[in-house]
Structure 1
Amino acid sequence: MTRSTSASPVAGPVASRLVRRGGAAVLTVALGVGGYAAYAREPDPGYRTAIASVADVEQTVVLSGTVEPAGRADLAFATSGTVDRVLVSTGERVRSGQVVAVLDRTRLRREVAGARASLAAGRARLASDLDAQTEQVTVAVTTTATGTATSTATAADAGTQAAIGSLTARAASQDPPIDGEPDGALDGALDDALAALAGQQQAVLDAQTAASAALVTARDALAEQTALCAAAFTDESASTEPGAGDDAGSADTADADCTTALVEVQSAQAAVGGAQDTLAGALDKLSGTLATAAETIRADVDQPTTPDPSAPGGPSDAGGDQPSAAGPVQGAGASPASPATGSTTVSAATLARDQADIAQARADLATAQQALDGAVITAPWAGRVVSLAIDAGAEASVGGAVAVLAASGTSTVQLAVSEAQARQLSVGQRASVVPAGADEPLPGEVSAVSTVPSSSETDATTYAVTVVLGAPDLALPTGTTASVSIVTGTAVDAVTVPTSAVSDGSVQVLRDGAPPPVRVTTGVVGAARTEITDGVAAGDEVVLADLGATLPTGDAETTTGFGGGFGAGAGLTGTSGGFP
Structure 2
Amino acid sequence: MGRRLAGRGKWIALTGALVVAGGAVGMWTLVRPDASAATTTTVTATATVGTIRQSVSATGTLAPAQRSDLSFQVSGTVTTVSVSVGDKVAKGATLATVDDTELQAAVDSAQAGVDAAEDQVDSASGSSSAQVASADAQLAAAKSTLSRAKESLAEATLTSPIAGTVAAVDIAAGDTVGSTGGTGGTGTSTGTPTAQVVVISTNAWVVDASVGASDLASVKKGLQVEITPDGSNQKVFGTVRSVGVMASTGSSGSATFPVTIAVTGTPTGLYAGGTVTAAIVVKQVDDVLTVPSAAISSEGDATYVTVTKDGQQTRTKVVVGAVYGARTEITSGLTEGAQVVVRQLQLPQGGAGATERQRGTQGEFPGGGQFPGGGQAPGGQAPGAGQ
Please give the TM-score of this superposition, normalised by the length of structure 2.
0.56
Counterpart pick for 1:371 among 142, 152, 161: 152
Aligned equivalent of 1:478: 272
The Cα shift of 1:482 comes to: 1.4
Aligned equivalent of 2:236: 443
| SS of match in other structure, 1:122 | helix
CA distance in 1, matches of 2:97, 2:170: 14
The verdict on how the C-alpha distance between 1:477 and 1:493 changes in structure 2, with shifts beyond 3 A counting, is closer
Structure 1 residue 494 corresponds to structure 2 residue 275: no
For 2:236, give the aligned amino acid: P
Structure 1 residue 412 corresponds to structure 2 residue 208: no
| SS of match in other structure, 1:123 | helix
CA distance in 2, matches of 1:555, 1:18: 13
Deviations 1:184-240 (A, max 9, x none): xxxxxxxxxxxxxxxxxxxxxxxxxxxxxxxxxxxxxxxxxxxxxxxxxxxxxxxxx
For 1:67, give the aligned amino acid: L
For 1:479, give the aligned amino acid: G
Aligned equivalent of 2:36: none
Counterpart pick for 2:108 among 101, 105, 113: 113
CA distance in 2, matches of 1:452, 1:359: 50
Counterpart pick for 1:431 among 226, 231, 236: 226
The Cα shift of 1:109 comes to: 1.4
Report 1 or 2 for greater relative contact order, CA contacts < 8 Å, sequence distance ≥ 6: 2
Aligned equivalent of 1:43: none
CA distance in 1, matches of 2:217, 2:260: 9
Counterpart pick for 1:63 among 53, 58, 64: 58
CA distance in 1, matches of 2:74, 2:258: 34
| SS of match in other structure, 2:102 | helix
The Cα shift of 1:65 comes to: 2.1
Structure 1: 4+ residue segments shifted above 6 A: 17-20, 451-460, 495-499
The verdict on how the C-alpha distance between 1:428 and 1:78 changes in structure 2, with shifts beyond 3 A counting, is farther
Counterpart pick for 2:171 among 368, 390, 410: 390
For 1:375, give the aligned amino acid: A
Aligned equivalent of 1:467: 263
Deviations 1:405-448 (A, max 9, x none): 3446x252422445964863444725232x2232x1322222x6
The Cα shift of 1:387 comes to: 2.3
Report if aligned partners of 2:12, 2:52 keep a CA contact under 8 Å in 1.
Answer: no
The Cα shift of 1:105 comes to: 0.9
Counterpart pick for 1:511 among 298, 301, 305: 301
Deviations 1:227-276 (A, max 9, x none): xxxxxxxxxxxxxxxxxxxxxxxxxxxxxxxxxxxxxxxxxxxxxxxxxx
- Aligned-pair RMSD on alpha carbons? 4.7
More helix by share: 1
The Cα shift of 1:365 comes to: 2.4
Aligned equivalent of 2:76: 81
| SS of match in other structure, 1:115 | helix
For 1:108, give the aligned amino acid: L
| SS of match in other structure, 1:450 | strand
The verdict on how the C-alpha distance between 1:470 and 1:106 changes in structure 2, with shifts beyond 3 A counting, is closer
The Cα shift of 1:390 comes to: 0.8
The Cα shift of 1:69 comes to: 4.1
The verdict on how the C-alpha distance between 1:89 and 1:81 changes in structure 2, with shifts beyond 3 A counting, is same
The Cα shift of 1:102 comes to: 0.2
Deviations 1:355-377 (A, max 9, x none): 44433333332222222111112
The verdict on how the C-alpha distance between 1:528 and 1:401 changes in structure 2, with shifts beyond 3 A counting, is farther
The verdict on how the C-alpha distance between 1:443 and 1:512 changes in structure 2, with shifts beyond 3 A counting, is closer
Which ranges of structure 2 fall in alignment gaps of 5 or more residues? Answer: 1-10, 31-39, 182-193, 294-298, 304-320, 335-359, 367-382
Aligned equivalent of 1:124: 119
The Cα shift of 1:31 comes to: 1.7
CA distance in 2, matches of 1:461, 1:9: 24
For 1:374, give the aligned amino acid: E
Q: How does 1:119-198 map to 2 (within 5 A)?
A: 119-133=114-128
The verdict on how the C-alpha distance between 1:512 and 1:100 changes in structure 2, with shifts beyond 3 A counting, is closer
For 2:45, give the aligned amino acid: A
More strand by share: 2
Aligned equivalent of 2:5: none
Report if aligned partners of 1:118, 1:361 keep a CA contact under 8 Å in 2.
Answer: yes
| SS of match in other structure, 1:401 | coil
CA distance in 2, matches of 1:386, 1:86: 14
Aligned equivalent of 1:574: 386
Flag the structure with larger Rg: 1
The verdict on how the C-alpha distance between 1:99 and 1:455 changes in structure 2, with shifts beyond 3 A counting, is farther
**In the comparison of the two structures, how many residue pairs are matched?**
282
CA distance in 2, matches of 1:93, 1:359: 43
The Cα shift of 1:354 comes to: 3.7
Report if aligned partners of 1:415, 1:466 keep a CA contact under 8 Å in 2.
Answer: no
Deviations 1:99-130 (A, max 9, x none): 22101112211222222233333333233323
The verdict on how the C-alpha distance between 1:106 and 1:425 changes in structure 2, with shifts beyond 3 A counting, is same
For 1:377, give the aligned amino acid: L
CA distance in 2, matches of 1:18, 1:453: 43
The Cα shift of 1:73 comes to: 3.4
CA distance in 1, matches of 2:289, 2:263: 31
